[in-house]
Amino acid sequence: MASIPESQNRAAYAPVVNYDEPPIKPPPLLAVGPLAWMRKNLFSSVGDTLLTLVGGFVAVSVVVGVLRWAVVDANWFAITFNFRNYLLGRFEPEYEWRVLLMALFMAVVIGVCFAAWTRITRGAMIVLLVFAGLLFVIPPVAAAITRQPVAYFAAGSAEIAGTGSDTITPQTQLAFIARAGETLTIQLALQTSEDDSTVARMGGFTDEASNQLRVSSIARQANADRIAEIERLLGNNLVTASQRERLTAELGKLTVVDPIAETYRLNQNAVIVRILRGSDSSVIAEGKLDRENSAPLTVTLPEDGWYIFEKSVDGDGVGLIQVRGIYPLLERTISRSADEAAASGGTAGSIPQYARMTDVFTTEAARPKTADGKNMPMATIIDNKYRGERSLNDYVNLFIGPFAGQLSTGVLGLVLALLGGYGAAVLANRQLSPQDDPRRASRRAATYLLIITPVLMFVLIYGFFTVLPLTDTRRWGGLLLTIMLTFVGIVASFPLGVLLALGRRSKLPVVSGFSTLYIEFVRGVPLITVLFMAQLLVPLVNPNLAQTPNVFRAMIGIVLFSAAYLAENVRGGLQAIPPGQEEAAKAVGLSGLQTTLYITLPQALRAVIPALVGQFISLFKDTSLVAIVGLLDFSGMGELVVAQTEFLGVRREVYVFLILGYFIFSYAIATVSRRIESSGSGKALARKI
């Protein structure tokens, strides 16, 4: 309230008028906040509004389509089952601890570098720890809130019509592996045998016979729908004579067979099932399943190893059985040396190995034999694929949980190592750095660590005389090989590129001419040509070079190629330095070497940080070309996986995984570059005088 002060001279009869202060109103919703931003950037005009609506519709459609494909249709077994191959290739298992030690050391170095030239916010630390913790939480939660996926098996002696004149007869015995204490739940799939529509909607792991029932039901329903559609079209006068003729011809070719459920008498008779021990065929459990007694048969398995699932129909017809606990297997033959066998406690030589696709449970026990001494049929990933539309429950149980479990330990170790290095460097700054330079200790530590990292990295992975046994470079692969090629290419090409840039600007004709000739020649040929030359042509020049491992020859080719491009980036930064900088340096008595090291080169490198980082990201991605010359890097392992019989047709899933992997590492490099530029290490600091 506003009033006239009492001390003011006024007549006793003068009126006093009080005024209310106008209330403070909040700003309009469309003036500030998210709505204002949307109005300004998305709906500022009619054209922007239409563009926003169309773009939003397209984006939502793409996202929904991709998510539906990823959950319902995609086969991510090619990723979860081969995850180690993507990371390490065929690297010797007994030396994996070296790779782990190298990864932890590099995480510590990254943490020290963050403390030296930028910082990690508290929010970022919390996000990293929460992410690492979630990887441990997801697997048990997924197992607790989701049910095991269903497997369908057909039983009986009836021949089920397949494609053309081929027929499929259900198998009477099927071998599978399981852990001790696991429970099998076996029952008739009554919910899928009511009519053809329920059989067509069947989704889960299915053998060839049950899948053929599903395919036949889908085809019968599709023919019936198409006949109804054609009859509807022929019943009106909107079609032309030629269209009517074509539709009539198509109608004559379409037939609707008898209902599948009736033709094969699905689950009309009782099904007899037995669970046998794989080693001696002794009976563990048996039961009779029929429509009147629909209670499931529950069996707890006594030990790890092979079991036999035996099924038959009491009479004619086909029985469709629903099982939880039997999952498809992958058979592989591994070669194990005597040293590896001694270290792992296994058998040396070529050993058949059987792994369960859902959780990678593996056994090397002998496969059960049939009565005539042949290997018993087993639930392979080729025959017992997941067919039909996958539910969200199965997607979480089969892929999300196992994948998070594989990442959990490694990611937590890397996060703790990174934060530990960062914390140690911050503590060193507080204890050892002077007040006028609070990050001196961490910068020195980071510099020394970056110098020794390439040497330590190479020694750990390759070996060092008798201290660390040498590893077989032919078995390097996956992300390990990609990082090795990238790191060696960056570290070795950087000083060589700087020298070439300085040499091209030299006033000595020989030095300038050689540098120019080298840069222009290398930039005039593609990287794949350099790699082929390193692998094929160099040994022809000197046969002794043929003894050099292919990995080292590829590294040399990448270094020489990258140095030429890096030299031009650095030369561009040197040309951007004003001539007055060199003149001022000469005026204070600095030599040419001192001027380059302390005046022009630091400014040039700071000016071209974006170009250098772009070159490093390009080098990281270009290492995929080594797959063409026989080295199995990250992308090469993807090609090797999709070439396996078990994973034919999963090329899209593999390439999506490769794209995400390359994007994550490239984005991390670009993010670090931006942080370096914004911290002052990549720009000139303005100081008050």
Per-residue pLDDT tens digits for 186-236:
999 888 777 788 888 889 999 999 999 999 899 889 999 999 999 888 888
373 vs 54: which has the higher pLDDT = 54
The C-alpha atoms of residue 315 and residue 331 are separated, in whole angstroms, by: 35
* pLDDT at residue number 684: 46
* pLDDT at residue number 636: 92
| CB neighbour burial string for 519-534, b if at least 16 within 10 angstroms, e if fewer | beebeeeebeebbebb
Cβ-defined contacts of 24-30 (< 8 Å, 24+)? none
Specify the range with the lowest mean pLDDT, choosing from 160-174, 459-473, 510-524.
160-174
* pLDDT at residue number 688: 38
For residues 457 and 106, the answer to whether their CB atoms sit within 8 Å is yes
* pLDDT at residue number 35: 78
Q: Residue 340: which pLDDT band, with cuts at 50, 70 and 90?
A: low
Q: What percent of the chain has pLDDT over 90?
A: 50
Q: How far is CA 267 from CA 49, 102, 290, 469, 562, in A?
A: 58, 59, 7, 62, 68
Q: Using the predicted structure, report yes or no on whether residue 377 has a pLDDT greater than 70.
A: yes
* pLDDT at residue number 660: 94
Q: Residue 416: which pLDDT band, with cuts at 50, 70 and 90?
A: very high
Question: What value does the mean pLDDT take over residues 119-148?
Answer: 91
Side chain identity at residue 346, one-letter code: G
Q: What percent of the chain has pLDDT over 70?
A: 92
Q: Give the domains, in start order, of the chain with CATH numbers.
A: 33-69 (no CATH), 92-149+384-470 (no CATH), 152-326+328-372 (no CATH), 472-684 (1.10.3720.10)
* pLDDT at residue number 687: 43
* pLDDT at residue number 424: 95
* pLDDT at residue number 28: 65
Specify the range with the lowest mean pLDDT, choosing from 313-317, 423-427, 561-565, 619-623.
313-317
Tokens encoding 68: 């539906």
Q: Residue 683: which pLDDT band, with cuts at 50, 70 and 90?
A: low
* pLDDT at residue number 675: 75
pTM (two decimals): 0.86
Q: Using the predicted structure, report yes or no on whether residue 454 has a pLDDT greater than 90.
A: no
For residues 298 and 184, the answer to whether their CB atoms sit within 8 Å is yes
Question: What value does the mean pLDDT take over residues 235-260?
Answer: 86
Cβ-defined contacts of 510-517 (< 8 Å, 24+)? 515/567
Q: Using the predicted structure, report yes or no on whether residue 465 has a pLDDT greater than 90.
A: no
Q: Which of 474, 663, 495 is nearest to 563 (CA)?
A: 495
Average pLDDT, the chain: 87
Q: Using the predicted structure, report yes or no on whether residue 682 has a pLDDT greater than 60.
A: no
* pLDDT at residue number 686: 42
Q: Residue 11: which pLDDT band, with cuts at 50, 70 and 90?
A: low
Q: In what order do the strands lie in the sheet with 271-277?
A: 173-178, 305-313, 271-277, 283-289
Per the DSSP assignment, residues forming a β-bridge with 322 are: 152, 187
With 0-12 CB in 10 A as exposed, 13-18 as middle and 19+ as buried, what is 554?
buried
Specify the range with the lowest mean pLDDT, choosing from 2-11, 44-53, 58-67, 366-375.
2-11
The C-alpha atoms of residue 479 and residue 552 are separated, in whole angstroms, by: 17
* pLDDT at residue number 154: 93
Specify the range with the lowest mean pLDDT, choosing from 326-340, 424-438, 662-676.
326-340
3 state DSSP class of 132? helix
HSE value, Cβ hemisphere, 13 Å, CA-based, for 57: 5
Q: Residue 689: which pLDDT band, with cuts at 50, 70 and 90?
A: very low
Q: Which of 100-104, 258-262, 370-374 has the highest mean pLDDT?
A: 100-104
Q: Using the predicted structure, report yes or no on whether residue 337 has a pLDDT greater than 60.
A: yes
The C-alpha atoms of residue 474 and residue 345 are separated, in whole angstroms, by: 25
